[in-house]
Structure 1
Amino acid sequence: MRLGLIGYPLDHSLSPAMHNRALREVGLLGEYLLLPTPPEALAGRMAEVRAGFWGVNVTVPHKEAVLPYLDGLSPEARAIGAVNTIVREGEKLIGHNTDAPGFLRGLEEAGLLFEPALVLGAGGAGRAVAYALKGRGLDVYVWNRTPGRARALAEEMGLREAPLEFAREARLLVNATRVGLMDPEATPLPPDLLPREGGVVDLVYRPLWTRLLREARARGLRVQHGLYMLVYQGALAFRLWTGREAPVAAMFQAACEALSEPICP
């Protein structure tokens, strides 16, 4: 069973550690590989997937770009307009989105379903988060550094576009951008714009405790790091590929070990 992750760059990814542990835990022979794929190589990579993989995950910058190479989409992936999981069914490649339900599971477990919610980012991850929150009936706003993208997403999903300053009024703030990835001093939000109450979620997981989360926690806000969404979306993908329930605890443990985090999540 050949599985993998398509994206670029991929040096930060914990997915191989997580999924290879899962395969061993359930007794399946197989391997999960990193498949670094710059944009100009996407067509060739998708041909390789079609020829020799059971399925793959998809991450930035390809969650939307991969759509033309697929033979079908799940209803959720079609509604979100982005794919993070591909399953080969016979000769067909079917796109799914496990980001949305994976994100929602972590949020529900932590009791962080506050509103109004502000999503930072209108890319593939931001689209999935906005879709998930909207589906739970929350009042959702979206911001993007390119206002046109935020406006388009808001119109498409029935959300509202907001300036970054709206973060003060939000009771749930979700960073769905890459700001902070591999840079512990980078943050998408100045400290004076943090919500006055509620919670902050950062989808970045390397570092686990980003500057955004550290500053939010210091303000007394409830926080959640990106490992929850990573593991829960991965568990759903694993079930789609294998038909087996994913060993979630083992996947968390493998991810924490790869991060060298002694206490996790």
Structure 2
Amino acid sequence: MSHSLSPVMQNAALKVMGLDWSFMALPCSADDLASVLKGLEAVGCRGLNVTIPHKQAVSLLCKELSPLAQRLGAVNTLTPLPRGGWHGHNTDVEGFLAPLLQNHPDWSERRAVVVGCGGSARAVVAGLQDVNPSEITIVGRRAETLEPFCSSLQQGRPTNAVRLQPLLNNDPQLQTRIQQADLVVNTTPIGMSSHQPDQGPALPLGEDIWNNLSAHTVLYDLIYTPRPTPWLQRGETLGCRTYDGLEMLVQQGAAALRRWSGIDEIPVDVMRKAALKNLSHS
């Protein structure tokens, strides 16, 4: 939590909004999660953001869940209920979609590829399901993880909804899927500043697979350190439009602040500038 940008950007917004609140990072072990929630409720905490690795565990401790949080089985935003307990929601989906929809409002009949099937990928795939592309391919390393991931996110969707297509990262079809994709999203940590060279290539799925990437493809990396990531640098040299995860972080934080404050007009620009300033000094 010590490296989180959330406190600096949320506190910048709170100051501009004139709210006498403070947003603080609070480390918490899995064993202490339930006790911490009870303690924060007891002292009148107005809201919480929850990050990895607690997003799924905290959903089981909420008294009430939004439909989206139920569907994902993951919560990142908690708001106190009037009669006690916490309401759990997930603003990661809104954060992920915000920059995409701003520049590409219509994703119907488009093809998307999502690299990775971990916790972050759940929000990405759920968001893509809501904008109705013609195809969503999920790329993973292990069938025993990939197939349950796709099945769980397919549950409860209309029978005519776009089906999730699982694909192992060594499948010969992968090159074609990427070349045909209108959007590729990297949800893995490969390319992050802390990623060590001896862990493998700094690009998701290796380097060669991106050599024939089409310039019409949008690349979206959930990583934002370094800026740009090596993968996004490769895309930029090929003429691709690129996004990193900083805007997703800012937008999900703004969505959470709307819920806590009941105020629709959130100073998103202030949050973005505070986050960028903090990154440039780190």
Identify the TM-score tier after normalising by the shorter chain. Answer: 0.7 to 0.9
Q: Does the 8 Å contact 1:189/1:212 carry over to 2?
A: no
Whether 2:250 is the aligned partner of 1:259: answer: no
Normalising by structure 2, what TM-score? 0.82
* 1:133 maps onto 2:124 in alignment: no
CA distance in 2, matches of 1:155, 1:89: 32
Paired residue secondary structure (2:56): coil
1:168 shift after superposition: 4.1
| Structure 1 position 102 matched with structure 2 position 95 | yes
Distance 2:110 2:35 in 1: 43
Q: Which residue does 2:224 correspond to in 1?
A: 205
Task: Describe the shift of the 1:259–1:128 C-alpha distance in structure 2 as closer, same or farther (beyond 3 A).
Answer: same
The 2-side partners of 1:214 and 1:189 are apart by 15
Distance 1:101 1:40, change over 3 A: same
Aligned to 1:27: 18
Q: Is the 8 A contact 1:100 1:129 kept in 2?
A: yes
Matched, 1:77 2:73: no
Distance in 2, Cα, partners of 1:238 & 1:145: 36
Q: CA deviation at 1:130?
A: 0.3
Unaligned runs of 5+ in 1: 1-9
Show the 5 A alignment for 1:172-251.
172-183=183-194, 186-194=202-210, 196-197=213-214, 198-244=217-263, 245-251=265-271
Q: Equivalences for 1:34-45 in 2 at 5 Å?
A: 34-45=25-36
State the Cα RMSD in Å: 2.1
Instruction: Verify the 8 A CA contact 1:12 1:182 in the aligned structure 2.
Output: no
Greater shift, 37-46 or 219-228, is seen at 37-46
The 1-side partners of 2:60 and 2:53 are apart by 14
Name the CA shift for 1:216/1:191 in 2 (closer, same or farther; >3 Å): farther
Structure 2 residue aligned with 1:6: none
Q: What is the alpha-carbon distance in structure 2 between the residues aligned to residue 177 and residue 217 of structure 1? A: 19
Residue deviations 1:163-198 (CA, integer Å, cap 9, x gap): 233444433111122333333763323122237220
Residue number among 38, 42, 65 corresponding to 1:47 in the alignment: 38
- Once the two structures are TM-superposed, the CA of residue 69 in structure 1 deviates from its matched residue by 1.0
Match of 2:111 among 116, 119, 125: 116
**Unaligned 5+ runs, structure 2:** 155-163
How many percent of aligned residue pairs carry the same amino acid? 37
Amino acid at match of 1:162: L
Contact 2:9–2:272 (CA under 8 A) maintained in structure 1: yes
User: How far, CA to CA, are the matches of 1:92 and 1:213 in structure 2?
Assistant: 42
Residue 251 of structure 1: how far off its partner (Å) = 0.7
| Contact 2:193-2:225 at 8 Å conserved across structures | yes
1:143 has 2:160 as partner? no
In structure 1, give the amino acid aligned to 2:186. Answer: N
Provide the rounded CA distance (Å) in 1 between the counterparts of 2:42 and 2:114: 37
Describe the superposition over 1:6-43 as per-residue Cα deviations: whole angstroms up to 9, x where unpaired. Answer: xxxx2331101110001001000011111122333323
Question: Residues of 1 paired with 2:103 and 2:139: CA distance?
Answer: 24
Native 8 Å contact 1:204 1:225 kept in 2: yes
